[in-house]
Amino acid sequence: MNIPGHTAVPPARSGRWRGGEGPWAWWCAMAVALSLLMLGALLVLLMSRGLANFWPASVHQLTLADGSQVIGVPVETRQRPEDAGSERRYFTANRDASGGIWRWVNVEDIRQDSAPEDLVHIKRMRWSDFLGRLVAVNIDGRRFDGELAWQRLEERLDEIRQQRQLRRELEATQIIPLIRRLESSNGPESNHDPGSNSDDVRIHQQLAELQQQARDLQSGMTGAVLILETAEGRRLEQPLEEVDTVLRPNAMSAWQKVGRWSSGVWQYLSEGPRAANTAGGVWPAIFGTVLMVILMSILVTPFGVLAAVYLNEVAHQGRLTRLVRIGVRNLAGVPSIVYGVFGLGVFVYGIGGQLDEWFFAETLPSPTFGTGGLLWASLTLALLTLPVVIVATEEGLARIPMHQREGALALGATHLEMLTRVVLPMAMPAMLTGVILAVARAAGEVAPLMLVGVAKLAPQVPLDGEFPWLHLERKFMHLGYHIYDAAFHSSDVQAALPLIYATALLLVLVILVLNLTAIFLRHYLRTRHGAFARQ
Amino acid sequence: MPDTPTSDFSAQSPLHSHRYRQRRDRLARALITAGGIGVLLAVLAIGVFLAVEVLPLFLPFSSTAPELELSALWQAQPYADGLEYRWLPYRLDEGEAAYVSLVPLAWGTLEAAAWALVLAVPLALGAAIHSSLYMSRPLRARIKPTLELMEAMPGVVLGFIAGLVLGPWVEQHLAIALTTVLLLPLGVIVLAGVRRCLPSSWRLVLSLRWASMWLIPWLIVLVWLAHWLAPLLEGWWFGGDLRLWVETQLGWDVEARNALILGLAMGFAVMPGIYALAEEALVDVPRDLSDGAQAMGATRWQTLTRVVLPVAWPGIFSAVMIGAGRAVGETMIVLMASGNTALMNGNPLDGLRSLAASIAIELPEAGPGGTHYRLLLLAALALFLFTFLVNTLAELVRTRLRRRFRMLRSDS
């Protein structure tokens, strides 16, 4: 009982822990504190590592005891066993010049450690990043040195970026749909030679024109070459069209760094992955996750509500209904991988295989619906989250006072009218809570998706301008699977680690926001129905 | 259906509209019934599907598994020199002698779940007891949703942190990890003792009701202290290198991805669920009982152990069982933090492979209808049955407990 003023009364004085509750009470308090600490530590770790990744870190130039030079970004320092000093790991990049991108340096061996302003950090499409110095820029045969080189370089890089964007749009919106159309008209069944059909000829011509355009854009990007120098003094030539960004982190002011950081975050959110998912952005994964979750909630809401209404309002409340209710509740505790197995066996191999035989026989044996895809993944997750929606909706329905129903019926409403005009509107927040909880669960679920349709790399998002716009049979990328894949199937985990942190942070943020919404909604619901009960 | 279905039925004659509404109502009810039963059947079809697909393994004359003897699933088979339990299903696809013992996988699953529970149950029960007994009301209203958020953490993120960050760190700093585990409970008791010597105004600030908040900075200090104490401890007891000592004295391999790390990550995932149910069980105990005990002069802790716990233990038991069900089926954490080696030993610092992880890795590559496919489905069926039974049992226990509480309340 929480009577004001009662709680401050000193407790009974007896036993060894005079006047206290004994050590166990403190250990119990520690359990709560420890749980909160672990949660907080996890969030802080994800936040700091995930966001720090985009900060342009300063580049150091070291002179070692043997006179050699190293240029790199310090990553971590480790104590060596038995007091043998410590060593520091530097990110030295330049895979094309030195073979690796990491270097361990003995801290005691460092004679000089400076951060000259002329060091550059170049993010490239291939061979990982470059760290070193910019000597000159060669644009269309003319050579620029010094500050002029920087100006020209940045102008040229902007042009290239625009052209790259144009080319990407050209490919996505025109060339690929044309190729698709060609493929579909030249299926293995229709074995006429290409070009005999007038429609085909037209498409081929169009395609050739477009590809010429793309090639023109591509060749417009070439012509500029960076001349670079590594720490060891080796000269490299780097074609500018394979460069993403060029930075001088040591010369940047704090504001410039903030600007660079935010544009880095934006690039990460809006671009596709590069270098086998260890660099670049996660836009396709965000898109795939969101689309899959939306489809899932469209599928799960009507069915979940229907089942809940049946169980609570229509079914005879006997022993069987009670058993079914317990069964449904328990299905929420069945491991998600089991749902994945069910989805693979029934949806993909069963229904999907059958659909292929009926409608896509011409493309067999390569499956259309008989392999994992967006539709099957959404269906599987809908099944997985169905118990969540049913339980939440049922709870909402059970909270509605009986006299509301009786009042509606007494005024002459039929059962259906009572349901649609009185009961369901009142249960709306409960349904919403259920759906949001379902979405939160589905967004974080990865194991079943591995069986029914997630892909390591899906170059095309399942939604585009080509009929029927939404491609339910395509595979898709997913944030959670992106984490798993980058963490366990990449050749250099250390290089991928910063991006994994960022992706994990993104996923956690999405799920936290969804859960917080559900919690607030439920709170609102409880207070509102508390008011109902008092009336 | 009438041939003029309009939504505005009030415009029509009362008799007609009444009949129309009645019919519509009957139709809608039939549809809801059909739909509801359909959805429920679809949900319950999971078990049926798994059973039907697994059945050919057990039929004596089926063509799917001619080379497989069923006893190979749970008996040791001759391997190298001696009898061993092995899970090497890929040999099945190559037509060689099959080693498809499910025993190491089941062992891995249970070992992982056991470690998860060892870490999660004390935390969850402690937290439940503290928040139901001591914690101040406004704080409790905040803590409960926070711990719910903890449950929502996706397994893939926990698995990543455990497997790639925590695992390698603990492998390097075994002594610090061990010292932390020993130091935390000790340090908290020391602080509780120090608090008793403080003046009462201080004691009011550092009250037990808010202990879960002000203990957090102290825990951070303790972890930092552990960093400092670990080398001393290692020097006194383990000859300067705990890892070497474990490997030579105990004969245990130390892996970065081991059962303990896995248990920690999975305990983190399972703990909030156990906490929520256990707390509910403790709070549901009729207040008259505990009030009576406290009126007789018992401390709150004595009330808990002598009165509340004996009444509420079935609820707590069912909470632990539901947690066990969740731990057994957790896939991503095991996949990422366990190393996935099908070993059978009790070494908590070695890797393991669980049923769920095996399904996730192998099923996409096993051809539908083959023996390997059906074996994996058998594993899925085992998981399904286990979790379903455990949850049903827990649910029954909870329902009975609730009924008992209701009777206790109506008696008084």
Q: Do the beta carbons of residue A105 and residue A87 sit within 8 Å?
A: yes
Q: Do the beta carbons of residue A171 and residue A344 sit within 8 Å?
A: no
Residue A52 contacts B, CB cutoff 8 Å: no
Contact A444 B287 (CB under 8 A): no
| Fold of domain A283-534 | MetI-like fold (1.10.3720)
How far apart are the CA of B2 and the nearest CA of chain A, in angstroms? 17
Residue A254 contacts B, CB cutoff 8 Å: no
Which pLDDT belongs to residue B275? 92
Nearest to B196 by CA among A27, A10, A32: A10
Contact B384 A346 (CB under 8 A): no
Q: Do the beta carbons of residue B339 and residue B257 sit within 8 Å?
A: yes
Contact A31 B154 (CB under 8 A): no
B16 and B114 share one domain: no
Do you know the residue count of chain B? 412
Q: Which of A136-140, A388-392, A460-464, B22-26 has the highest mean pLDDT?
A: A388-392
- Half-sphere exposure in the Cβ direction for A509 (13 Å, CA): 12
Does residue B65 sit within a domain?
Answer: no
Does residue B126 sit within a domain?
Answer: yes
Which pLDDT belongs to residue A535? 43
Contact A12 B148 (CB under 8 A): no
- Summarised one tens digit per residue, pLDDT across range A110-122 is 777 877 777 888 8
Residue A253 contacts B, CB cutoff 8 Å: no
Q: Do the beta carbons of residue B358 and residue B379 sit within 8 Å?
A: yes
Residue A257: partners with Cβ closer than 8 Å, 6 or more residues away: A55, A56, A249
The token pair at B306 is: 């002598």
What is the maximum span of chain B, computed from C-alpha positions, in angstroms? 98
The whole-angstrom separation of Cα A93 and Cα A74 is 12
Collect all residues of chain A within an 8 Å Cβ-Cβ radius of residue B189.
23, 26-27
Collect all residues of chain B within an 8 Å Cβ-Cβ radius of residue A444.
152-157
Contact A335 B126 (CB under 8 A): no
Does residue B230 sit within a domain?
Answer: yes
Which pLDDT belongs to residue A195? 47
Collect all residues of chain A within an 8 Å Cβ-Cβ radius of residue B192.
20, 23, 26
B271 and B307 share one domain: yes
What's the Cα-to-Cα distance from A136 to each of A227, A231, A242, B49, rounded to whole Å?
Answer: 5, 16, 17, 68
Collect all residues of chain B within an 8 Å Cβ-Cβ radius of residue A327.
44, 392
Does residue B154 sit within a domain?
Answer: yes
Which pLDDT belongs to residue A1? 43
Percent of chain A at pLDDT exceeding 70: 86
B162 and B116 share one domain: yes
From the number of C-beta atoms within 10 Å of its C-beta (0-12, 13-18, 19+), residue B273 rates as buried
ipTM, two decimals, is 0.85
Q: Provide the domain limits for residue B262.
A: 103-411
Does residue B335 sit within a domain?
Answer: yes
B113 and B171 share one domain: yes
Task: Please give the distance of CA B366 from its chain centroid, rounded to a whole number.
Answer: 28
Query: Looking at the 3D structure of chain B, how many domains does it have?
Result: 3
Percent of chain A at pLDDT exceeding 90: 8
Residue B125: partners with Cβ closer than 8 Å, 6 or more residues away: A31, B274, B278, B316
Best to test chain A binding among B9, B50, B204, B215 (most A CBs inside 10 Å): B215
SS3 assignment, position A78: strand
Contact B50 A340 (CB under 8 A): no
Q: Do the beta carbons of residue A182 and residue A143 sit within 8 Å?
A: no
Best to test chain A binding among B40, B121, B135, B330 (most A CBs inside 10 Å): B40
For residue A44, pLDDT beyond 90: yes
CB atoms within 10 A of CB B160: 29
Which residue among B81, B100, B119 closes a domain?
A: B100
Residue A45 contacts B, CB cutoff 8 Å: yes
How far apart are the CA of A387 and the nearest CA of chain B, in angstroms? 8
Backbone angles phi, psi at A145, to 5 degrees: -120, 165
Task: Classify residue A139 as left (phi > 0), alpha (psi -120 to 50) or beta.
Answer: beta
Do you know the residue count of chain A? 535
Collect all residues of chain A within an 8 Å Cβ-Cβ radius of residue B25.
414-417
Collect all residues of chain A within an 8 Å Cβ-Cβ radius of residue B129.
28
Residue spans per domain, chain A: 56-135+227-252, 142-222, 283-534
Between A and B, how many CB-CB pairs are < 8 A? 316
SS3 assignment, position A4: coil
Does residue B1 sit within a domain?
Answer: no
Nearest to B210 by CA among B129, B124, B278, B131: B131
The whole-angstrom separation of Cα B101 and Cα B105 is 8
Residue A388 contacts B, CB cutoff 8 Å: no
Rounded to the nearest 5 degrees, what angle is found at the Cα of A386, between the Cα atoms of A383 and A392? 170
The whole-angstrom separation of Cα B141 and Cα A406 is 35
Kindly write down the DSSP assignment for every residue of B58-93, as one continuous string.
H-TT-SS-TT--GGGGTS-EE-SSSEE--EETHHHH
Residue A7 contacts B, CB cutoff 8 Å: yes
Contact A327 B325 (CB under 8 A): no
By C-alpha distance, the chain A residue nearest B141 is A523
Residue A9 contacts B, CB cutoff 8 Å: no
> Positive or negative, the Cα torsion across A325, A329, A335, A340?
positive
The token pair at A529 is: 């129905």
Residue A269 DSSP code? H
Which pLDDT belongs to residue A83? 64
How far apart are the CA of A38 and the nearest CA of chain B, in angstroms? 8
From the number of C-beta atoms within 10 Å of its C-beta (0-12, 13-18, 19+), residue A473 rates as buried
B88 and B148 share one domain: no
Does residue B245 sit within a domain?
Answer: yes
Contact A45 B160 (CB under 8 A): no
B90 and B222 share one domain: no
For strand A86-91 and strand A102-106, is the pairing parallel, antiparallel, or unpaired?
Answer: antiparallel
By C-alpha distance, the chain A residue nearest B332 is A447
Residue A509 contacts B, CB cutoff 8 Å: no
Collect all residues of chain A within an 8 Å Cβ-Cβ radius of residue B384.
334-335, 338
- Summarised one tens digit per residue, pLDDT across range A403-454 is 888 999 999 888 888 888 888 888 888 888 888 888 888 888 888 988 888 7
Which pLDDT belongs to residue B9? 45
How far apart are the CA of A422 and the nearest CA of chain B, in angstroms? 15
B185 and B298 share one domain: yes
For strand A235-239 and strand A224-229, is the pairing parallel, antiparallel, or unpaired?
Answer: antiparallel
Out of A21, A481, A497, closest to residue B300 by CB: A21
Q: Which H or E run contains A176?
A: helix A176-185
- Summarised one tens digit per residue, pLDDT across range A169-185 is 777 777 777 777 776 66
For residue A506, pLDDT beyond 80: yes
* Averaged pLDDT, groups of 10, chain B, 412 residues long: 46 65 85 83 83 79 56 65 68 63 84 90 92 86 84 89 87 83 88 83 81 87 87 77 76 75 90 90 85 86 86 88 89 84 72 85 81 85 89 87 82 62
Taking residues A66-78, report their average pLDDT: 80
